[in-house]
Structure 1
Amino acid sequence: MDEGTYNIDIVGFHGTSLESAQKIITEQNFTSGDIRNDHWLGQGAYFFREDPEQAKIWAKSKIKGSETAVIKTIVSLDNNSFLNLDTRSGLNYFNRYIKTEVKRKILEEKAEIELTTDDHSKIKHIYRCFFCNELPTNIKAIQRTFFVQSTLNEDETFKKMDVFVQGVQVCIRDLSVIDFTKTGINNVINMHTFRRRKKTKQKRKL
């Protein structure tokens, strides 16, 4: 991306079931999950950057009936292997690649983006997932910040400042950039404790 070469270290947090977390640590391997056409940043292992709380909340919202855990890891790579879609240079690279390499592939191979829904809110994920999956293999990680639904967004002071909860997602496409010697369980969330805390917050709100 013509910016000179420098190293990037990312502290990532991955929410999952406790059983899966223990398996990841033991086997030193993250699975990329189900192959879908609507992943937010394409196929890969997902982490919240420097945000263990968001990883915890995500895990509890997606995994029902079992204890969950948050894994902490260090991702180390150079900037030429990292596509940061929160930056102007990253978006410029993405735009050029789509309009040249991906367009050429679509024309030559007659590839099509398969839309499996009429839901416009989901269609954008399908498009983004398709183009991220078409990136070259030297792009080992992709980052993008997304808006997150939260009661904090209803705070009047935050609204006046235009401050909202956001989650910085990092999709790891090449697991070789994960340092498994610095990977471990950051915390375990007991579902009963989580429910009690949630009820307490709701009572305070009332």
Structure 2
Amino acid sequence: MYDNRHHVILGFHGCDEETCQRLVNDPKEFHFNKNSYDWLGNGMYFWENDLERARQWALEKQKQGKIRKAAVLGAFIDPGNCCDFMNSKYTGQLADYYVKLNKILDDMPHNEDVKSDPHKDKLLRKLDCAVIEQMHKEISIIQEIEHRKLGFILTPGFDTVRCAFLEGAPAFPGAAIKLKNHIQICVRNPNSILAFFRPRLKPSSILAA
């Protein structure tokens, strides 16, 4: 009853300029990630209300040679039925899905550090991703059973997944607040994206060529 969010989230997605142009120009386009290390499972990722963090990420990928020209894509997102891991209702369910996945797999994945990360933030969240995908899979199975027996679905799937990520160096000596702290939202349902747009950047923040 209280699970659906009734407001629009402003999200920012760091990407290559070509990808950005394609998504803005074609409203039917959607970029669905299926990386095993994406911490909130499969979908399209956005930094919630944080253009600067998306800009930094895109520039880092450009320097690493993973994208040709850094860009930032904006989106108006309707969270819909949101699996919000900043809500204890959802975090409390994760252990059950972990147990179920552990019974299925002989070799469970692990969250891993990136060698270049001095802060050891476990940026490769392979375990988290696998557990969350197990959750989505079980919801799909329940939906199939409901549809077969009832002719309609009582258990809705999640349109989006949302959580805070604590990352980076301390903001000051001894601080628990990290410099790269952010909230991300993973969009699974393309219809949750109401529109893509190119954000206006301040002259001092224009992406490097």
TM superposition shift of 1:141: 0.9
Aligned to 2:22: 23
Aligned to 1:86: 86
Highest relative contact order (Cα 8 Å, sep 6+), 1 or 2? Answer: 1
TM superposition shift of 1:154: 4.8
Aligned to 1:62: 61
Matched, 1:171 2:173: no
TM superposition shift of 1:55: 0.6
1:34-49 alignment runs, 5 A limit: 35-49=34-48
TM superposition shift of 1:57: 0.4
Aligned to 2:167: 148
Q: Helix, strand or coil for the counterpart of 1:170?
A: strand
Aligned to 1:129: 129
Matched, 1:185 2:178: no
TM superposition shift of 1:123: 9.2
What is the letter of the counterpart of residue 71 of structure 2?
A: A
The alpha-carbon distance between structure 1 residues 179 and 113, as it changes in their structure 2 partners (threshold 3 A), is farther
For residues 117 and 127 of structure 1, what CA distance do their matches in structure 2 show?
5
**Are 2:112 and 2:125, in contact at CA under 8 Å, matched by a contact in 1?**
no
Q: How far does the alpha carbon of each residue in 1:95-138 deviate from its partner, in whole angstroms, 9 at most, with x for none?
A: 44545xxx1x765xx44555489869659711101011122351
Q: Helix, strand or coil for the counterpart of 1:164?
A: coil
What is the letter of the counterpart of residue 192 of structure 2?
A: V
Identity %: 20
TM superposition shift of 1:3: 3.6
The alpha-carbon distance between structure 1 residues 98 and 140, as it changes in their structure 2 partners (threshold 3 A), is farther
Aligned to 1:196: none
- The gaps in structure 1 that reach 5 residues or longer are 193-206
Aligned to 1:202: none
For residues 179 and 22 of structure 1, what CA distance do their matches in structure 2 show?
17
**Are 1:69 and 1:185, in contact at CA under 8 Å, matched by a contact in 2?**
no
Q: Helix, strand or coil for the counterpart of 2:125?
A: helix
Aligned to 1:51: 50
For residues 111 and 91 of structure 2, what CA distance do their matches in structure 1 show?
26
Aligned to 1:201: none
Matched residue count: 175
**Are 1:115 and 1:123, in contact at CA under 8 Å, matched by a contact in 2?**
no
Give the CA RMSD over aligned residues.
3.0
What is the letter of the counterpart of residue 88 of structure 1?
A: S
Q: How far does the alpha carbon of each residue in 1:154-186 deviate from its partner, in whole angstroms, 9 at most, with x for none?
A: 534xx45x4333011111111111102xx2011
| Greater share of residues in helix | 1
The alpha-carbon distance between structure 1 residues 3 and 163, as it changes in their structure 2 partners (threshold 3 A), is same
For residues 20 and 84 of structure 1, what CA distance do their matches in structure 2 show?
28
- 4+ long deviations beyond 6 Å: none
Q: What TM-score, normalized to structure 2?
A: 0.70
